[in-house]
Structure 1
Amino acid sequence: MTIAESPLLAGDVYSADCPSREIFGHVTSKWGVLVLAALAERGLRWGELRRRIGGISEKMLAQTLRTLEQDGFVHREAHATIPPRVDYRLTPLGAELAERLLPVVEWIAGNIGRVSEARHQVR
């Protein structure tokens, strides 16, 4: 039985063989965290996400969104309009995850001075 077949089975991210390690990588990647944090604020369209997350390429944004959608964290809704419109929002699972990630994002933003100082002292 795989983890996907049994939602009650806990994963072990420390085990190289556990599928949860792959999900951990998706979530904790530079772009994964930022996409989840941006969507925690509210649902966004493609262009809004691209502007919100400075430095992300179109290819990387598409890849990150697709991966997070496949993992069940992001919902993609395409509207049959001209021009085409696609909205992204967190699923309940994604919102639960973002709730845990946001304190880390906020801690980093609030402590960048201390981290920069520590980096400078090591050099």
Structure 2
Amino acid sequence: MKVLITKKCENPKCKLPAFKTDNLKKKYHDVHCKNQANYWYKVEEYAWEILMQKIRKNNIKALKYLYSKNFIINSKETLMKLGFNFNFSYIHYSDEAGNKIFRFGNLGLMQIAENPNSKYDQYKIVPF
């Protein structure tokens, strides 16, 4: 005969206060509770990475839209109107001429003209 012990679920958002089990290693009362605890842990601990991925996806979407409409050279103002965020580009490389190209998915963004008023800088979309 197995002895059941009462344990408290380690999911802080669990609605059941306790559960009975014969396994001493069991932390959660079911798989749903385990997945929920893992989800909320990631949301709290990796909030910056989640935000960065969302903004990066939006940047890729804006560049794909402009590239599909053959708008290869764009101003910073145009990109910002489409929701492009310049603070979230983290992969860049330099071509033979020394120009920095920031990669967003299969497209790159290269600054080709810099104006004193940074709102009117010119950027070129480069496919990879």
Q: TM-score, normalised by structure 2?
A: 0.31
Please identify the structure whose Cα radius of gyration is greater: 2
State the TM-score, normalized to the length of structure 1.
0.32
The answer to which structure, 1 or 2, has the higher relative contact order (CA under 8 A, 6+ apart) is 1
Higher strand fraction (1 or 2): 2
